């Protein structure tokens, strides 16, 4: 049972579209909402304005027929989702949003506890960094078992790591096991004591693992998660400049490209 006061992920945002993996994202969002007593919002961000921006004459070539077809596709998707969820027991809403997809979903994320995306979604990193909303990134064509998961928390003592850990509390309190993992320096191991105390005050009893560095940071984290059998990896997302990220190797990008489990990312 969830400890009183830890909160729940009640407002879950799951952007709806026709891309591969949407069914798995929806299944994951519904299961999480069912466990948390939550609500799933499914915005369909219409691409009309984005397509118009790419037309060679500033949108002139985007005919009225094309607009009607795109609107009809959005409405058809909304009807398919409504038909499916009408048989479910989870509260939900489906909306069709005009305008730029990123701007629309950023606005929606401001009143969400969690956003569920595929890990290859082009706007994922900017959404986490810009809106500071936790994002659950799913591997392609995979659902995530978050009702009673084994969770690994990547810990380096940073503000981003702390924010990710706090954002994940509703999941950590339900976990079968929580592993706090640092990559082998005495400083982060010492800082981890504070994280362990924080978690214990929320009735989360985590086990500390100091992983020796083998290869890149991402490779070490992924190998450790694989060894521990983690269902979910919680980590901070860092706002490096593009140049700095290129020079330091892009830990987050490597994780998004290679992780076989779900990632909960926060800034």
The position carrying tokens 């400083």 is: 187
Written as one string, the DSSP assignment of 24-55 is HHHHHHHHHHHHHT-EEEEEEE--HHHHHHHS
Tell me the domain boundaries of the chain. Answer: 11-136, 150-266
Q: What is the mean pLDDT of residues 231-251?
A: 66
What was the pLDDT predicted at 129? Answer: 84
Residue 156: is its pLDDT beyond 50?
yes
CATH of domain 11-136: 3.40.50.620
The residues, ordered by sequence, that sit 6+ positions from 89 with a Cβ below 8 Å of its Cβ are 34
Q: Express each pLDDT in 244-267 by its tens digit.
A: 444 344 787 888 888 889 999 998
Query: Which DSSP symbol is given to 211?
Result: E
Q: How many Å apart are CA 173 and CA 2, to the nearest integer?
A: 6
Q: Which CATH architecture has domain 150-266?
A: 3-Layer(aba) Sandwich (3.40)
Same fold, 11-136 and 150-266: yes
């Amino acid at each position: 049972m969830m400890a009183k006061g830890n909160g729940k992920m009640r407002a879950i945002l799951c952007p709806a579209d026709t891309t591969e993996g949407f069914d798995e994202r929806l299944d994951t969002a519904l299961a999480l909402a069912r466990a948390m007593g939550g609500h799933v919002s499914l915005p369909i961000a219409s691409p009309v304005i984005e397509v118009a921006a790419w037309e060679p004459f500033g949108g002139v070539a985007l005919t009225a027929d094309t607009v009607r077809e795109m609107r009809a596709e959005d409405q058809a998707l909304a009807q398919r989702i409504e038909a499916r969820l009408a048989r479910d027991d989870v509260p939900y809403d489906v909306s069709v949003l005009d305008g730029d997809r990123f701007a629309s979903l950023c606005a929606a994320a401001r009143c969400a506890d969690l956003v569920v995306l595929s890990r290859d979604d082009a706007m994922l990193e900017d959404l986490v960094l810009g809106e500071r909303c936790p994002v659950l990134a799913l591997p392609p064509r995979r659902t995530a078992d978050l009702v009673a998961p084994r969770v690994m928390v990547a810990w380096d003592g940073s503000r981003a790591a702390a924010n990710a850990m706090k954002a994940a509390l509703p999941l950590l309190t339900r976990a079968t096991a929580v592993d706090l993992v640092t990559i082998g320096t005495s400083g982060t191991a010492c800082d981890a004591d504070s994280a362990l105390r924080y978690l214990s005050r929320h009735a989360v009893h985590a086990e500390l693992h100091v992983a020796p560095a083998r290869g890149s940071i991402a490779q070490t984290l992924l190998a450790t998660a694989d060894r521990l059998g983690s269902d979910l990896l919680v980590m901070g997302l860092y706002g490096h400049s593009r140049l700095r990220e290129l020079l330091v190797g892009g830990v987050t990008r490597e994780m998004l490209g290679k992780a076989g489990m779900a990632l909960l990312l926060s800034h």
